[in-house]
Structure 1
Amino acid sequence: MGAKRVIWHVGFERNLRRRGPPSFEVRSEVPLSEEPPRLDYLLLRKLTPEGEALDNRAQTLRHLWPLLPRVSVVEYKSPGHPYRSGQLDRLWGYVHTYFANQRALPRHRADGTLLSSTEGGPEVREREDLCAALVVAARSPGLDADVDAMGLTWEDLDGGYLRVHGGLFTLYVVELDVAGPAEGDDLLHSFGHGAS
């Protein structure tokens, strides 16, 4: 299948080059970044066989965990490598790619019953099963501008936790410089601008 797909792509590329307008340059197999994309963290909610959440006691980011669905793509921007304009697009790209890959997994056995994720089925079946979380030391003008440019809106959940509305997936933002002190968590705060 892989070789056949390459042959089709080569033929289609030749068609574009030869029969497309000369005012366009055609590039193929273009890398999207210098290093392969990878998620900072993927959080998978553990469930009992009945679908109930397991122990939710947390010692850090205490207000985040109850908000998270089955699967969460988490991006952490440290003080040394803070959020830069355009990185929200990259985070959305990760979430959409993860969702698309999950959609491509087999969902049913031959007898029609659902496959579980431990049997090779998807972790995520619906958009509501997946969210993004962006953890930053503090909101920045670049992040605010990116949210505004995408037509998204902020909801303050208090204590350094925010929800961004308007995307195809839920996005939570955690400001460590607010959440750490609000939760009395010096270690968490140290991952922002707090003293360690």
Structure 2
Amino acid sequence: MTGFGPSKNPEAQKSALKRQVRIDVDLLFQEALRHQHNGHLLSAETAYEKIIKSGYLHSVVFLNLADICQETGRLRKAISRCKQAVSLSPDLFDARMKLGALYKDIGDLDQSRNEIMRALSLEPNSPCALLNIMSVYRLNDIPGLKSHAFGLISRNSDIIYDLNFVEFLSSLGAGFCEDVLQSLDDSVASREA
């Protein structure tokens, strides 16, 4: 006769342990988010660190840690955490944008530009990325950025209502804004004909 005690099967025990770790990680993550939302950054950071120590590595955990480090003035640590997020999810637009912003904050404009350009390559229709690149661009970037703007408008004329895009256009100069508006008018006229 068998009892109802713990299973003697090692695979079943491993599976049960993994389920328990997953539940613990989920609870820790919810706790960390609650602390972070309420402004208890040290408690949130501690909870995120416990998640990492459990072996659960997820880009969101590292991005949230980067936010905490940035808010508490530890920019180099924020960069390190953001790099960890990028290493886990290289195609994560938000991580690339944050990394670009952090590099800009420490004065490394070349690294900032590189990360924002990577973000722009991930989401070419992002007015936010276009606007942010304008704070760290090189002169030889301007023709490509102008071409990119024309391409965006040809694909989606409603983008001119996005304030980030409008600010991006205005940073390229009045003459370019006029060219874009003329291009938009020409595009609308050709569709109507």
Relative to the length of structure 2, the TM-score reads 0.25
Q: Which has the higher strand share?
A: 1
Relative to the length of structure 1, the TM-score reads 0.25
Higher RCO, 1 vs 2 (CA within 8 Å, ≥6 residues apart): 1
